[in-house]
Structure 1
Amino acid sequence: MGGHLVTVAACSLNQWALDWEGNLERIVESIRRAKAAGARLRVGPELEISGYMAQDHFKEQDTFLHSLEVLARILTDKSCYDIILDLGLPIQHRNVSYNCRVICYNSKILLIRPKQFLASDLNYREQRWFLPWSKPRQTEDYHLPRMLQKIQGATHVPFGDALISSPDTCFGAETCEELFTPNAPTISMGLDGAEVFTNSSASHWEIQKLDTRIKLICEATRKSGGVYLYANQKGGDGDRLYFDGCSMIIVNGDIVAQGSQFSLDDVEVVTATVDLEEVRAYRSGISRGYQAVTSLAKYQRIQTDFELSPEEEEFDITKRRSAVIQPRYHSVEEEIALAAGCYLWDYLRRSGQAGYLAPLSGGIDSCATATIVFSMCRIVMQAVKEGNPQVIEDVKRVAKYKGENVLPDTPQELCNQIFSTIYMGMATMSSAETRKRAKDLAEAIGSYHIDLNIDDVYNAQKALIVNTTGFDPQFKVHGGSYQENITLQCLQARIRMVTAYEFGQILSTTRGRPGGGSLLVLGSANVGESLRGYLTKYDCSSADINPIGSIDKSDLKRFIKWAVKDFDIPCLQEFLDATPTAELEPITSEYVQADEADMGFTYDELTVLGRLRKEVKLGPFGMFQRLVHDWSADYTPAQVAEKTKRFHHFYAINRHKMTTLTPSLHAQPYSPDDNRFDLRPFLYPPFWKSWSFKRIDAELERIEATMAKKKKDGGVEAEID
C-alpha cells in the first residue's frame, strides 16, 4: 500500500492586469513557498498570469502572446520543478479564446483545461472575451506555439475536460464560476473517482459575501467527499473590484486551512496535509456508490508518474494531517475598514501618485471616507511593523521619507504625509459645528488639514448671472424659486469640486514634499444618495475614487460607531449625533437644510428600495405590490404608492448622473455603478404618465376599495389581500 498523506497548496496572489513581470514574480514566489512547505500540488488564482481584470485587453493578440511567454518562463524555471502546477492564463485554440488552466509538471504540460461555465452577470462579462468549453469530458489536440514546442518536446498537448491521474490518486480542476453552478463539474468528476479538486478563482469582495462562498465550497465536498483547494485572487486588479483572497483547503466538507481575507501580503500560500484514506472512507459511508457506478460521466485520464503522496512518506512519523478548523469571519464594520483600506493602498501605490485628498464637510459620509484612509494607514503601519518588505518599499516611495531607513512610527504620521483634508465653507451656509467636526477629525487622524471659505469665488460666479442677465437669483428662504434655489446650491457644490482638484494638484508642492506630485481626490457620495440622484453632477461626488460609493448609510454609521472605540477616536461620536445636511442653503432661525427631508426618504428606506430594484429585480408596479405588505405597519397603501412612484421618478430623471459617477469600490450587490454593474438606460420616458404608474394607481384603488368594504362589513381594520 502506498502513502496517503498529501500536502497541497492554494495561493492568493495580488496580481495586476498586464503586470507581466510582477505577476510572474509573484507566481514563482508562491511556487517556491509551496515547495518549501512540502506541497506536491499548487493551484493559483484565475487568469493569474495576465491578471483577471484585463477585460477588453483579452481581445488583443499581445495579451495571449505575453501570457504564453510568461508560461514558458515558468516551465523552464527549475525552481518550479518537482511539484504539479495549476496555472491560469488566456489561450486561443483554433482561433477561439478560452479562459484556461494549464496543469504542468517539470516543464511539461499535462493538460490545458478551458473554463466550461463563464461568469457573465453583474460585475462580470467573461462571454465578451471568451467562449465556454462546450464539450464536457472531451479533449482535442492543442497545437503548441513554437516557443512551447521546444520546451514540451512535442507539437501537441491535450486540450479540454479531463482528469489528471497519478499513481496514488486522481484530481480535476474547475474554475471560479463553475463552483456556483447547480451542476458543478465537481459532482461528475467526483463520481468518476477524482479525489482532489482545484478551483482557481477571482471572486470579488462584497460585504458579508464570504459566508456564501464558504458554504458552497464546503457543500461541494460534503455531499460526495473529496479534497478541495480553493485559490482566490487578492487585492485591486486595476478596476472597481477588490478581491479578498481567503484561499482555503477543505476535506469532506470541513475546513482544514484558511488564508487571510484582507492582507497587504502580495503572496500568501495556504497549505495543508490531508489524508486520502479519509476521502475513501467518507465516500464508503454516504449514498454515493450507486450513482458512481451508473454515472455516464466518464473522463479521460491524463497520466503522470509523479506521486502526490510518495510511499516513503507513509512512515514519516513527523508528518501530521491538518486538523479541522472553524471558518473565520469579520464583522461588517471590520470588512469596511479592511477591504476599503487595502483597496485604497493598492490603488495609491500602483497609481504612482503622491497621496489622497478628501473634502470634509463635517458630515458622516466624508467622515467615513477620511476614517477609511486612516484605516489604510493603520493597516500599512501594521505591515511595516511586521517587516513586510513590499509595504516598506512602497511606504518609502509613496511617502517620500528622507533617508533609506527612515519610516513613520504611527498611522497618524503616515497619514500626515499622504493624506490631506480640506473644509470648504461658506459664511452664511456653513455652521461652526461642521467646521469644528472637520478640524477635530483631521487632528485625530493626523491629516494635513486646510480650512477655507469659498465665498469670494461663489460671489464672483453668481455675479456672472447678475451682470449678464440683470437677474439676481435668490435662495428659497429669501423668496427665490425652485430653479433659482437649485442653481445657487449647485454653484457652490461645483466650486468645491474645482477647489478640491486645485489643492490636490498643488499641495505637495506648497508643502515642499520630496517629489511633489498630485493627490488623488476622494469622493464621498453613499449608495443611497446615488440611487436617489441626491447629488450635483460634477460636484464633490466627482472625484478620482469613491471608497463609499456602494456602501449604504446604515453600514457607514455602524462602521463609524465601531471606529469610535476600535480606532480610539472619540470625536467620531459627534458625526453620529449630527443631522445629515448638505449645507448648501442659508441657515436661518427657522430653517436648516436636512438630507432626508430633501430626499423624501430615510436612508434605510433607500436601502430597501435599492435592494428591491437591483437584487429582487422589481419594477415600479412589482415594488409597490411588495412594499404595500412590507411597509403596512408604517404607511398606508396610498403613502407606499407615493413613495414608490417618487423613488422611480427621481431615479429616472437623475439617471444621467450615474453615467459620470466616480468609480467606487464595489461593496454592495445593489450598487448603481453605471456601465460596469448597473446596465440601464439614462434617458427614460416620463414615469408619472407611464403604464406602470397607472397600474399602481389602479391597484391602489382596488386595495382601498377592498379595505373600505371589509371595514364597513366587519367593523374592523381590513387586512391587505
Structure 2
Amino acid sequence: MGGHLVTVATCSLNQWVLDWEGNLGRIIESIHLAKAAGARLRVGPELEITGYSALDHFHELDVYTHSLEMLQRLLLDKSTHGILLDVGLPILHRNLRYNCRVICLDGKILLIRPKMWLANDGNYREMRHFTPWMRPRETELFHLPKILSEIQGETHVLFGDAVISTPETAFGAETCEELFTPRAPHIDMALDGVEIITNSSGSHFTLRKLDTRLQLITEATRKNGGIYLYANQQGCDGERLYFDGCAMIIVNGDVVAQGSQFSLNDVEVVTATVDLDEVRSYRAAISRGMQAATSAAKYQRIQTPFELSSEDEESDVTRGPTLPIQPRIHSVEEEVALCGGCYLWDYLRRSGSAGFLVPLSGGIDSCATATIVYSMCRIVIAAIEDGNAQVIEDVKRIAKYDGEGVLPKTPQALCNQIFTTIYMGMKKQSSHETRQRAKDLAEAIGSYHVNLDIDDVYEAQKNLLVNTINFEPRFKVHGGTNQENLTLQCIQARIRMVTAYEFGQILPTARNRPGGGSLLVLGSANVGEALRGYLTKYDCSSADINPIGSIDKSDLKRFIAWAEKNFDLPCLDGFLTAVPTAELEPITQNYVQSDEADMGMTYQELTIFGRLRKINKLGPFAMFQRLVHDWSAEREIRPDDDAPRYTPAQVAEKVKRFYHFYAINRHKSTVLTPALHCNDYAPDDNRFDLRPFLYPPFWRSFSFKRIDMELEKIEKKLASKKAKEAK
C-alpha cells in the first residue's frame, strides 16, 4: 500500500456557551476517542472552546482570556499529543477579533488560521462580533501571550491563510460559512495540491436542510477530488438554535462515514481510513489538470515531520480504506420528533428546572408539543438502555431516581415524573370532545394530568369591569361588539397563562418531588399563528420555550400522523380530524369558533405568505404579482398542484388581509416565546426577524394602491379577452 492509508477523525460536540472547563473536557475526550481509533488528524466544531452562540459575549475580553487559558491546558495535556489537532476558538490579534482555528501538534502551535468569510444572514451575525481575514494566502506573525510562549518556546507563531504539509500529504482548514460561499477556499486549496480539507461548523438545524448541506459537502470533493472532514456542534448550546451534528467524512464525492444527526451523546467521534492514492487517481482522471497547473493561488506550506499514515504497514493492508455508505436523511416527521426531543432534553438538564408543563387544549398544536415531550422521554429511555452515563446521571438528578436498578423503564414512567399537562376549561366554551382528547393523550403518554375549570376566576376578573365602570361586556353571539368579544376572549386566555405558571411553580412541591424547583412552561403557538398574530399577547402563547413556534400546521399534522403509528398512540387520530378552534367563545347550536374562519385565511395560505415574505423577500405588491399567477383559477393544474384557486380580486384581498394583520400584530412578535428554530420564515423577533413593530396603516399605503392599480389592469385584460372569445 506504500503507506498511503490515513486514518482521520471528525466529531460532533455538545458544547455549552461559556462552559469553559466542560467544553475543554469534551474536546479532550474527543481527542482520546480519535486516538483510540488510530486517527492521526482530528477536527472539531467551530468555536468549540467557547460554544458557538456566545453572541455579544464575543465583545468581552474575558472570553479571549479564558479561551487562551483553555488552549494552554489543552497544549499541556500530554494525553492529547501524538495527533494533529484542529481546534476552534476566538482570538484577539492586533486589537481585532477573529474566529480562528488553531492547528497544533504535541503541545506546539503550527498555525492560527482566521475565518475569512463570515456568516452574516438569518440567525448569524458574525460580522457584528468578528473581523474577516481579508488577505487570502497571506500570513503574518501573531505575538503569543506569556502563558503560550512559555509552552511554545517562541514568542510568535504564524497567523493567516496557510496549509500544513506532512511527509505524505497536505491539509488545509476552512470554517463553516466558507464552504457555502461561491468561491470556497477548498477550491484553491485543492488546485494547489491540498488533499485533506477540514471544515469546522456551527451549522444549525432547520427542517429539510440536511439534504442541501450534504449536497454542498459532497460537491466540495466531487468536482476536485480530495478528502473532506466535516465537524459540527450538536445540541442546544444556550440559544434557540439546535445544532444537528452529523459529522461526516467524504472522499471524492462519496460519504464514507456519517455521525448521528440527533443524539444525546455529548461527544461523538467519526473516523475513517482513507487512501491518498484514491485522491491522486481521481484527480488525474478528471478535467482539472489545466486549472491546477495554471492556478495562481499558491499557499504557504508549514512543514511538519509528523506522518499521518500509520507506521504499521501490515495493519494498513489488513484494514484497507473505509468503503462508501448511503447517507442517512431523516423524514420531516422524524426531524420534528428527534430535534424537538433532543433540544428539550438539553434545555431541561442545563436549566436546573424540575420538568415541563404544557397547557393541553385538546387541539393539535398543544398535542404536538406534548407529543414532542413524549418523544424526548423515548429518546432518553433509549439512551439509558444504551448505557449513556451522562444521560443516566442527568435523569437521576432531574427525576430524583436513586441507586442502581430503579431508573425509569418506560417513556411513560419518566414522563410522569417530569411532565405535567393541564386542561383549563370553561363550562360554556369547552367541549366534552376537547377535554376528553386531552385526558386520553395524557393517559397514553403518562404525563401527570390536571383537569380544571377557570370559570370562577374568569367571572371574578370580568366583574372588575362591572363593579368599576358599570359596564358588562358581552360575547358576539350574545349581541356584543367586536371589542367586547375580544375583551372576554383575552380575559380567558390570560387567566390560562397565569394559571399555567401558578401550577408550574408549585406542582413539584405539591407532588413531593425531591429537590423542588419549578416546571418550565412550554408554548404551543405554531408559526402561522405567530405570523398572522392570531394569538393573545401574554396568554398561553407566553411561555418559557415554544418547541413548535417555527413549524407550520401541515408539518405538525404530518408529525402527529407519523407519531400515531410510530409511537403507538391511537388517540392522536382524534386530534387530526378535529376542527382547529381556540374555544374562547360560547358554543351555540349555530356557531362554533373556527381558527381559519377567524383568521380569514387557511394555514396553508399562511405558510405561503410566510415563505414569500421572509425567504423570497416580497412586499405586498410583489407578493400580489407572484400569487395572482400561482393562485390563478385559470392555471393549468399539475398532478402535485394543491395551491388555492382564486380570482385576481380574491388574491388581492387575501394579500391585503395578510399584510394588514401582520402589521397591526407585529408588536406581538417582540414578546413571542423563544421558539426552537425549525424554519427560515419564522417571524421570531428575538434575533431572527428584525423588522419594525409599528407600521403605518397598510390599508392607506401606496403598496395597497399599487395592488389596486395592477388589479384594474389585469381585470381589464381579462374582460377584453372574454369579449374577444365571445365574438
Q: Could you say whether these structures have the same fold, taking a TM-score greater than 0.5 normalized by the shorter chain as the test?
A: yes
Distance 1:140 1:628 in 2: 57
Query: Is the 8 Å Cα contact of residues 166 and 308 (structure 2) preserved in structure 1?
Result: yes
Which residue type is aligned with residue 279 of structure 1?
V
Give runs of aligned pairs for residues 455-466 of structure 1, distance below 5 A: 455-466=455-466
Distance 1:311 1:409, change over 3 A: closer
Q: Read off the aligned partner of 2:667 and give its amino acid letter.
A: H
Q: Secondary structure at the match of 1:449?
A: strand
Conservation of the 8 A alpha-carbon contact between 1:81 and 1:106 = yes
Q: Could you tell me how far 1:675 is from its partner in structure 2?
A: 3.6
Structure 1 distance, partners of 2:503, 2:514, is 17
Q: Which residue does the alignment assign to 1:510?
A: 510
**Alpha-carbon distance in 2 for matches of 1:317, 1:187:** 31
The equivalent residue for 2:423 is 423
Aligned residues of 1:357 and 1:419 also touching (Cα < 8 A): yes
- How much has 1:401 moved relative to structure 2? 1.7
One-letter code aligned to 1:617: K
Counterparts in 2 of 1:641 and 1:316: CA distance versus 1, 3 Å: closer
Give the AA of the match of 2:444: A
The answer for the alignment partner of 2:609 in structure 1 is: 609
Q: Aligned partners of 2:327 and 2:726: how far apart in 1?
A: 55
> How many equivalent pairs are there?
716
Q: Which whole-Å CA distance do the structure 1 matches of 2:721 and 2:162 have between them? A: 66
1:600 to 2:600 alignment: yes
Q: Whole-Å Cα distance in 2 between the matches of residues 401 and 417 of structure 1?
A: 10
2:555 matched residue in structure 1: 555
* Contact 1:116/1:178 (<8 A) preserved: yes
Are 2:421 and 2:447, in contact at CA under 8 Å, matched by a contact in 1? yes
1:178 is matched by which residue type in structure 2? E
Residues 168 and 309 in structure 2, CA contact (< 8 A), matched pair in contact too: yes
Question: Who is 2:667 aligned against?
Answer: 656
- TM-aligned CA deviation for residue 329 of structure 1: 0.7
Q: Kindly tell me: are residues 14 and 465 of structure 1, through their superposed partners in 2, closer, same or farther at Cα, counting changes over 3 Å? A: same
Shift of 1:400: 1.0
Matches within 5 A, 1:373-388: 373-388=373-388
Matches of 1:675 and 1:317 in 2, distance apart? 55
Measured in 2, the distance between the counterparts of 1:349 and 1:225 equals 43
Distance 1:598 1:400 in 2: 45
Aligned twin of 1:94: 94
Other structure's SS at 1:16 match: coil
Please give the alpha-carbon distance, in whole angstroms, between the structure 1 residues aligned to 2:668 and 2:505. 25
CA distance in 2, matches of 1:24, 1:298: 34
- Secondary structure at the counterpart of residue 318 of structure 1: helix
Is the CA contact 1:40–1:82 (under 8 Å) kept in the aligned structure 2? yes
* Residue type at the aligned position of 1:575: F
Distance in 1 between residues matched to 2:68 and 2:12, nearest whole Å: 21
The Cα offsets for residues 327-370 of structure 1, whole Å up to 9 and x where unpaired, read as: 11110000000000000000000000000000000000000000
Map of 1:222 onto structure 2? 222
Separation in structure 2 between the aligned mates of residue 389 and residue 403 of structure 1, nearest angstrom:
14
* Structure 1 residue 314, shift from structure 2 partner: 6.3
How far residue 316 of structure 1 moved from its aligned partner, in angstroms, is: 3.8
Task: Please say if 1:677 is aligned against 2:671.
Answer: no
Partner of 1:719: none
Report the counterpart of residue 444 of structure 2 in structure 1.
Answer: 444
Confirm or deny: 8 A CA contact 2:30 2:269 kept in the other structure: yes
Answering whether residue 720 of structure 2 is matched by residue 709 of structure 1, we say yes
CA distance in 1, matches of 2:146, 2:713: 73
* Two-structure CA RMSD over aligned residues (Å): 0.9
AA aligned to 1:438 is A
SS at match of 2:356: strand
Secondary structure at the residue paired with 2:136?
A: coil
**1:676 offset after TM fit, Å?**
1.0
CA offset digits 1:96-141 (Å, max 9, x no partner): 0000000000000000000000001000010110000001000000
Distance 2:97 2:56 in 1: 12
Q: Secondary structure at the match of 2:103?
A: strand
Instruction: Give secondary structure in 2 for the equivalent of 1:580.
Output: coil
Q: Quick check: 2:5–2:316 contact (8 Å CA) kept in 1?
A: no
Any conservation in 2 of the 1:2–1:311 contact (CA below 8 Å)?
no
Amino acid at match of 1:509: T
Alignment of 1:566-581 (within 5 A): 566-581=566-581
Specify the alignment match of 1:246 in structure 2: 246
The 5-angstrom pairing of residues 405-420 of structure 1 reads 405-420=405-420
Aligned partner letter, 1:229: L
Tell me, in whole angstroms, the C-alpha distance in 1 between the residues paired with 2:345 and 2:569. 21
CA distance in structure 2 between the partners assigned to 1:316 and 1:345 by the alignment:
41
State the shift of 1:714 in Å. 1.9
**CA distance in structure 1 between the partners assigned to 2:354 and 2:375 by the alignment:** 18
* Corresponding position: 1:639 with 2:632: no
- Residue 403 of structure 1 deviates from its aligned partner by 3.6
Aligned pair partner of 2:698 in 679, 687, 691: 687
Checking the alignment, whether the CA contact within 8 Å between 2:249 and 2:256 is kept in structure 1 is yes
Partner of 2:319: helix, strand, or coil? coil
Letter matched to residue 52 of structure 1:
Y
Residue in 2 aligned with 1:13? 13
2:331 maps to amino acid: S
Runs of 4+ in 1 over 3 A off after TM superposition: 402-405
The aligned counterpart of 2:369 is 369
Q: Once the two structures are superposed, what CA deviation does each residue of 1:59-110 show, in whole Å capped at 9, x if it has no partner?
A: 1111001111111111111110000000000001101000000000000000
Post-superposition offset of 1:2: 4.8
Q: CA deviation at 1:404?
A: 5.1
Contact preservation (8 Å) 2:421, 2:448: yes
After TM superposition, list the pairs within 5 Å mapping 1:74-113 onto structure 2.
74-113=74-113
**Could you tell me which amino acid in structure 2 is paired with residue 303 of structure 1?**
Q
User: How far apart are 1:319 and its partner, in Å?
Assistant: 2.1
Aligned-partner Cα distance in 2 for 1:450–1:220: 54
Distance apart, 1:310 and its partner CA: 3.9
In the TM superposition, what is the alpha-carbon distance from 1:21 to its structure 2 partner? Answer: 1.1
Matched, 1:467 2:467: yes
SS in 1 for 2:318: coil
Any idea what SS the aligned residue of 1:233 has? strand
Displacement after TM superposition at 1:715 (Å): 2.5
Q: Say which SS state the counterpart of residue 140 (structure 2) adopts.
A: strand
- For structure 1, the 5+ residue unaligned runs are 717-721
Cα separation, 1, equivalents of 2:317 and 2:470: 93
TM superposition shift of 1:47: 0.2
Displacement of 1:486 in angstroms is 0.2
- Matched ranges for 1:167-186 at <5 A: 167-186=167-186
Q: CA deviation at 1:318?
A: 1.9
After superposition, what is the alpha-carbon deviation per residue over 1:240-291, rounded to whole angstroms, capped at 9, x for unaligned? Answer: 0000000000000000000011000000000000000000000001111111
Contact 2:176 2:202 in 1 (8 A): yes
Provide the rounded CA distance (Å) in 1 between the counterparts of 2:320 and 2:241.
Answer: 38
Using the alignment, how far apart are the partners of 2:142 and 2:402 within structure 1?
54
For residue 343 of structure 1, what is the aligned residue in structure 2?
343
Which residue type is aligned with residue 240 of structure 2?
R
Contact 1:3/1:314 (8 A) holds in 2: no
Alpha-carbon offset, residue 704 of structure 1: 0.1
Do the aligned residues in 1 keep the contact of 2:674 with 2:686 (CA within 8 Å)?
A: no
1:232 aligns with 232
Identical counterparts, % of pairs:
75
Q: Which runs of 5+ in 2 are unaligned?
A: 634-644
Q: Give the corresponding residue for 2:589.
A: 589
Trace 1:176-215 onto structure 2 (pairs within 5 A). 176-215=176-215
* CA apart distance, 1:315: 6.6
* 1:479–1:86 Cα change, 3 Å: same
1:667 has 2:678 as partner: yes
User: Partner letter of residue 660 of structure 1?
Assistant: V
TM-score normalized by structure 1?
0.99
Q: For residue 658 of structure 1, what is the amino acid of its counterpart?
A: S
Q: Give the letter for the 1:377 counterpart.
A: C
User: What is the deviation of 1:293?
Assistant: 1.3
Q: Could you state the TM-score of these two structures normalised by the residue count of structure 2?
A: 0.98
Letter of the 1:707 partner, please give it: L
- Tell me, in whole angstroms, the C-alpha distance in 1 between the residues paired with 2:292 and 2:332: 42
Query: Per-residue CA shift, 1:167-201, capped at 9, x if unaligned?
Result: 00001000000000000000001111100000000
